[in-house]
Amino acid sequence: MRMSILLAFIAALTATVTVTAPAYAADTASCHFAPVAESSAALQPTQSVGVLYSEGTVATLQYLEQYHSMAQNGAKDAGLDSRIRDALVNSSDPKLAIEHLIGSLQQQFASVTVYASLDELVQAKPDVVVMLDTFNRLVTQRNNQVEARFVATFYDANLQYIGKAEGAVDKQMPSVWVHDKKAPEIAAQIDQQRVLQLDALKQFDHSLKTLVTAGDKDRVASN
């Protein structure tokens, strides 16, 4: 595979995708409510959970969908080596993180439902409200800093803060776009984007389990 083909595709990717990745805003009003006070409620495995996506999560999903679509279609049209194309596609899967995060919540609680709006959620009256905030930044011709950050912020039925679970990994990748690299090496490097996401998700799983376990222990101790 000629490096010129890869460089041409990456230039097209940079131009097509909204490559300024969505801002990570775990501490802004876009991804949390403003509670009057911290809640005394404890998290329990028997609770129902209502999930809302933050503005950052919506923007991140759009960003990944653009990147993924370009990797699927543009890479094929550009005649890229199949190993590089597969690495780009697999590492930009927009469903990877969001499905894992919802699945992780489902393992810890009795029921988990994603709502399109706060009004719908309030009407459903779940025991716990979760604001789910996600952020991803992938490699382009202009960016070698790869990031994955996931935060689930928990509130009680009155939207008072309970706690949060989170996982975050970032890594400065060596440049992919150099002339002495072979296709297998480039593909392996791009695959690190997926590995990094999975590492951040493992952190999130551990953080969530710790948070729920601590809440359940507090409940038992108070009885």
Residue 42 contacts residue 218 (beta carbons within 8 Å)? yes
CA gap 114, 194 in Å, rounded: 25
Question: How far is 7 from 67, CA to CA, in rounded Å?
Answer: 16
Q: What is the average per-residue pLDDT within 104-108?
A: 97
| Mean of pLDDT values over 165-184 | 81
Average pLDDT over residues 199-204: 98
Statement: residue 15 has pLDDT above 80: no
- Provide the mean pLDDT of the chain: 82
Residue 88 reports pLDDT greater than 50: yes
pLDDT at 83: 87
For the residues 142-168, what does the mean pLDDT come to?
92
pLDDT of residue 108: 96
More confident residue, 147 or 1: 147
List the 111-114 sheet strands across, edge first: 111-114, 48-53, 128-137, 145-155, 161-172
- Predicted pLDDT of residue 216: 61
55 in Cβ contact with 30 (< 8 Å) = yes
Query: What share of the chain has pLDDT > 90, as a percent?
Result: 52
- Residue 130 dihedral angles phi and psi, to the nearest 5°: -125, 125
pLDDT at 182: 82
